[in-house]
């Protein structure tokens, strides 16, 4: 399991352990998470509130990159606290195959940048594109990281079929936000799902107050 998730269990131990039903250290955390994930009804409140985490949040949550700059550290902490609150409040995280594909693509780009920087520090040639990156031995580590990250997402989120959608309406909003984000937003709006993101661009298309964007200055989700 990713170290950030491990830290979350340590920080929010009682909430997390109650949510996934861990009674002692011998219990399988992964198995319990899978069991907890299958719950769709909160006995006290009826249907659980559903949450969609933008890809940028998964990047911070699952340790794809090591936060170095102050805003990266702040975002990683905010993502971890958000996940803790979701678990503590028995809310359901949802994702889709389209997002998993985007996540893999994002991981490739993050790792290519990291490997290129490391190679240059060793007086080696940098990596300018993914085609060249895939030829390097270091890319095998990226493949394994992709497998691990997708595995972790599956344990914390329920995979949903996003359904049929038209491309043309998404293209019409390209000047406002990324096409993937427009797709996710439309899906969340249709299914009454709360959308959390670090990307303030999404507020430009949000007329229904479904987007919760992180405000770093105030350290809150809007």
pLDDT of 209-222, one tens digit each?
879 999 988 889 98
Determine what percent of the chain is predicted with pLDDT higher than 90: 62
pLDDT in tens, 50-91: 999 999 999 999 988 888 888 889 999 999 999 999 999 999
pLDDT in tens, 100-123: 999 999 999 999 999 999 999 999
pLDDT score, position 54: 97
Q: Say if residue 208 is exposed, middle or buried (CB neighbours under 10 Å; 0-12, 13-18, 19+).
A: exposed
Q: Say if residue 28's pLDDT is above 50.
A: no
pLDDT score, position 16: 52
Residues 6+ away with beta carbon under 8 Å from 81: none
DSSP alpha helices (H): ranges in the chain? 3-11, 13-20, 29-37, 55-61, 70-88, 97-121, 130-133, 139-156, 167-171, 179-191
The domains of the chain are located at: 3-221
Planar angle of CA 148, 42, 2, nearest 5 degrees: 15
CATH code for the structural domain at 3-221 = 3.40.50.1010
Q: Model-level pTM?
A: 0.77
pLDDT score, position 71: 87
CB 201 within 8 A of CB 176: yes
Q: What is the mean pLDDT of the chain?
A: 83
């Amino acid at each position: 399991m990713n170290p950030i998730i491990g830290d979350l269990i340590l920080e929010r131990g009682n909430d997390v352990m109650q949510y996934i039903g861990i009674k002692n250290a011998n219990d399988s955390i992964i198995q319990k998470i899978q069991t907890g994930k299958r719950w769709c009804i909160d006995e006290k409140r009826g249907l659980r509130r559903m949450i969609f985490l933008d890809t940028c949040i998964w990047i911070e949550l699952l340790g794809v990159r090591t936060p170095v700059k102050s805003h990266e550290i702040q975002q990683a902490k905010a993502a971890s606290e958000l996940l803790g609150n979701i678990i503590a409040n028995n809310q359901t995280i949802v994702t889709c195959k389209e997002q998993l594909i985007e996540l893999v693509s994002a991981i490739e780009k993050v790792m290519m940048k990291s490997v290129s920087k490391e190679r240059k520090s060793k007086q080696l040639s940098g990596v300018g594109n993914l085609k060249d990156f895939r030829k390097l031995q270091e890319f095998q580590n990226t493949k394994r990281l992709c497998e691990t990250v997708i595995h972790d997402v599956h344990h914390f989120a329920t995979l949903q079929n996003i359904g049929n959608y038209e491309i043309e309406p998404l293209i019409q909003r390209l000047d406002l936000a990324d096409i993937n984000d427009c797709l996710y937003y439309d899906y969340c709006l249709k299914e009454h799902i709360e959308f959390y993101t670090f990307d303030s661009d999404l507020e430009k298309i949000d007329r229904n107050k479904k987007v919760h964007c992180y405000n770093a200055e105030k350290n809150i989700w809007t």
